Amino acid sequence: MTTYKLLIDGQMVDGDAVMDVINPATEEVLAQCPRASKAQLDKAVAAAKAAFPAWSRTSPAERKKALNAIADIVEANAAELGRLLTQEQGKPLKDAIGEAYGLAAFCRYFTSMDLPRKVLEDSEGRKVETLRKPLGVIGAIVPWNFPLILIGLKLPAALLAGNTVVLKPAPTTPLTTLRLAELIKDVLPPGVLNVITDANDLGAAMTAHPDVRKISFTGSSATGKKVMAGAAETLKRITLELGGNDAGIVLDDVNPKTAAQGIFDGAFQNSGQVCIAMKRLYVHESIYDEMCDELAALASASVVGDGLEQGTQIGPLQNRMQFDKVKEIIEDARKHGTVMAGGAGPEKGFFIRPTIVRDITDGTRLVDEEQFGPVLPVIKYSDPEDALVRANASPYGLGGSVWSSDVDRAIGFAERMDAGTVWVNKHIDLAPHIPFGGAKQSGIGVEMGEEGLAEFTQLQVINIAR
């Protein structure tokens, strides 16, 4: 069995304890993982703090060289990283390898960016300049649905800005991150990147740590509220990318046969375990039955299985807790709607087949909660304005989409959706240069793009008398 270690101050070290990592497709122990103690967290933060002065003084060119080196290593080991990711996360192997390449692409993208000094005023009376300075130690907390690509939203920007990092993956998917740390540890000076793991017991200590200057957290809204509260004592910077209950609105001029595949993909990618997945679909009554039938056919035809098996399109849910939650929500939905396709899979493994539920409406768990699994409620409406009001009624506001054969009409609705990102005639389309952030209880701050890079810096104004 492969041995995994923490990365602290440039050294791969054992944890003060160990924990099992489960393969969600087999429910068997995949590996034992080190589990860091509070003392090891403190060592990691101390190492990052000690490394910060020298790293913050390096040139942008040196930092970019390091990011390109990381990208090279990730690409060279993408097959290994992808296979390990599939085993601990569950997603199909092709998607997992693609996620590794995605991390490399994020690293390369940030090498194209700069944080230039800007002159706001250069007059007879004064000169005013702004500059972006690194913050210090960044605590990066990554969830279990996209362990590698979400590192790409945090680590490259943090390093390019001149910060040092303590990275904590989710306890159910730590292995790929630990292997990544081992592969790239010599690219960076000791302490610039540290990787620790826990059993969901060190997040509060990291968030409240006085030497951590910023927390970049991706995860549930409930945990995000705890992160925000923990950061309040030291008023540290936070970026929170949280949960969503993304609505899709299908207008009456849509052809269900041509739109169904895009809608299905937007709902069921990664077994629905995507913060910005479509989680409820409002369809006009004139095309409701046909759309439900098309989606149910796609659900029934999808290939569900172990992500390592050839042809698998939908893998298992990642962990027992999420599996049980989604099964509960499906059973509740049976009381309020009609399950057209899907439901629980084989007895072994955390499998749930893509599930379409029709004849359901707002006020039920499936519609009002974030299911974070392969279940899509299809809700009938007669008035598009009413559908928009219902879509906006959620406390979440991460993403959304509008579907129409008239793009201008769709844009008119999209602009009135209360969400950080709204797509037209597609759902889930992200890229490193496009900023991403949520509205309402779906988050604070922005990741990716120039705006995302700026969030890892402190703006300083130099105001000079003349």
Q: What is the DSSP letter of 314?
A: B
Position 216 scores a pLDDT of 98
- 372-404 pLDDT, tens digit per residue, is 999 999 999 999 999 999 999 999 999 999 999
On the question of pLDDT at 344 being above 80, the answer is no
More confident residue, 247 or 343: 247
CA 293 – CA 173 distance, rounded (Å): 36
The DSSP bridge partners found for residue 141 are 168, 217
What is this structure's pTM? 0.96
Identify residue 206 by its one-letter amino acid code. Answer: M
Q: Which of 88, 241, 294, 370 is catalytic?
A: 241
What does the pLDDT read at residue 46? 98
Which amino acid type is present at position 368? D
Q: Residue 383 gets which letter from DSSP? A: -
Q: Is 27 a catalytic residue?
A: no
Residue type, 71: A
Q: Which residues of 116-136 are buried (b: 16+ CB within 10 A; e: fewer)?
A: eeeeeeeeeeeeeeeebebbb
| pLDDT cut 90: percent of the chain above it | 98
**Separation CA 335–CA 328 (nearest Å):** 11
Q: Which CATH architecture has domain 6-242+442-465?
A: 3-Layer(aba) Sandwich (3.40)
Average pLDDT over residues 401-424: 98
* Confidence (pLDDT) at 1: 64
370 catalytically annotated: no
3-state secondary structure of 195: strand
Nearest 10 degrees: CA dihedral of 414, 420, 422, 428?
Answer: -170
pLDDT, mean of residues 22-47: 98
Termini Cα distance of the chain: 68
Q: Rounded to whole angstroms, how far apart are CA atoms 264 and 269?
A: 8
239-270 residue pLDDT tens = 999 999 999 999 999 999 999 999 999 999 99
| Active-site hit among 33, 107, 275, 292 | 275
| Domain spans, the chain | 6-242+442-465, 246-431
Q: What is the pLDDT of residues 109-157, one digit of tens each?
A: 999 999 999 999 999 999 999 999 999 999 999 999 999 999 999 999 9
Decide the pairing of beta strands 137-141 and 164-168. Answer: parallel
Q: Which fold has domain 246-431?
A: Aldehyde Dehydrogenase; Chain A, domain 2 (3.40.309)
Please, are residues 220 and 38 in contact by the beta-carbon 8 Å criterion? Answer: no
Question: What mean pLDDT is predicted for residues 98-109?
Answer: 98
Look-up of token digits 């192997």: 93
Distance CA 299, CA 295 (A): 6
Overall average pLDDT of the 14-31 stretch: 98
How high does pLDDT run on average in the chain?
97
Q: 190-215: buried (b, 16+ CB within 10 Å) or exposed (e) per residue?
A: bbbbbbbbbeeebbebbbbbebbbbb
Which two tokens mark 356? 């379409």
Average pLDDT over every residue of 216-237: 97
What angle separates helix 60-76 from helix 78-89, to the nearest 10 degrees?
70
What are the tens digits of pLDDT across the range 151-189?
999 999 999 999 999 999 999 999 999 999 999 999 999
Q: Given this model, what pLDDT does residue 448 score?
A: 97
Q: Where are the beta strands (DSSP E) in 225-305?
A: 237-241, 246-250, 278-284
Tokens of 147: 């362990």
Is 247 strand, coil or helix?
strand
